């Protein structure tokens, strides 16, 4: 399932590069001739609404996982009992949670920069990339509750270390 999502997003990314152009060099056929301020506001609002809807759907889906459904979904999972295994798992999960938070913030600022490029230079390619990155940001932001929980758990477990 995880590989399917990765393959699907990779295909979307390649198609975006072919149609829109590279992130730093947009296709010239996507420039708009002096769009109105209302059109630009409408387009930016559509991007934000899509991101908000994606965030709400993914946040609700991430809330549904509990231990019994996890055991049913992954019957071959093992219980971790030794301290060294727990430390290894906690270190890996803590680093991933920090990576989720930092990546989310970085991609968010990048998408805002690209929205600003769309606003100033009227290139629809920058709008598409900005919306794409904003959707990635909202997908990662839906994991923040779990990431912050892991960080608090890690801090609570290793406060004396």
For 5-52, the pLDDT digits (tens) are 667 667 767 777 666 666 656 555 566 667 778 888 888 899 899 889
For the chain, which residues make up each domain, given as ranges?
2-59+83-157
Per the structure block, which two tokens stand in for 66?
Answer: 């509990």
The alpha helices in the chain, defined as continuous H runs, are 2-20, 37-62, 67-73, 83-121, 124-141, 144-157
For residue 21, the SS3 value is strand
The angle subtended at Cα 111 by Cα 105 and Cα 117, nearest 5°, is 140
Q: What is the pLDDT of residue 66?
A: 66
Q: Measured over all CA atoms, what is the biggest interatomic distance in the chain, rounded to whole angstroms?
A: 65
For residue 77, the SS3 value is coil
For 59-87, the pLDDT digits (tens) are 887 766 566 776 777 777 777 778 788 78
**Region of poorest pLDDT, from 22-26, 81-85, 96-100, 125-129:** 22-26
Q: What is the pLDDT of residue 25?
A: 60
For residue 32, the SS3 value is coil
Q: What is the pLDDT of residue 88?
A: 84
Burial of 147 (0-12, 13-18, 19+ CB in 10 A): buried
For residue 26, the SS3 value is strand
Tally of CB atoms within 10 A around 9:
13
More confident of the two residues 120 and 19: 120
Q: What is the pLDDT of residue 1?
A: 47
What's this model's pTM, rounded to 2 decimal places? 0.74
Above 50 in pLDDT, residue 53?
yes
Whether 21 and 104 have beta carbons less than 8 Å apart is answered as no
Whether 19 and 125 have beta carbons less than 8 Å apart is answered as no
* Percent of residues, the chain, with pLDDT higher than 90: 11
Q: What is the pLDDT of residue 104?
A: 92
């Amino acid at each position: 399932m995880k590989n399917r999502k990765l393959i699907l997003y990779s295909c979307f990314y390649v198609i975006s590069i072919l149609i829109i152009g590279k992130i730093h060099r947009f296709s010239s056929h996507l420039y708009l001739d002096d769009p109105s301020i209302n059109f630009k506001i409408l387009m930016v609002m559509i991007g934000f609404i899509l991101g908000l809807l994606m965030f709400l759907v993914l946040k609700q889906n991430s809330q549904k996982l509990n231990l019994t459904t996890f055991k049913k979904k992954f019957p071959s999972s093992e219980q971790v009992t030794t301290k060294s295994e727990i430390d290894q798992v906690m270190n890996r999960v803590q680093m991933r949670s920090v990576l989720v938070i930092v990546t989310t913030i970085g991609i968010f600022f990048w998408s805002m920069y690209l929205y600003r490029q769309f606003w100033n230079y009227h290139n629809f390619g920058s709008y598409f990339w900005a919306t794409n990155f904003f959707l990635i940001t909202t997908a990662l932001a839906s994991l923040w509750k779990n990431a912050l929980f892991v960080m608090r758990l890690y801090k609570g477990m290793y406060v004396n270390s």
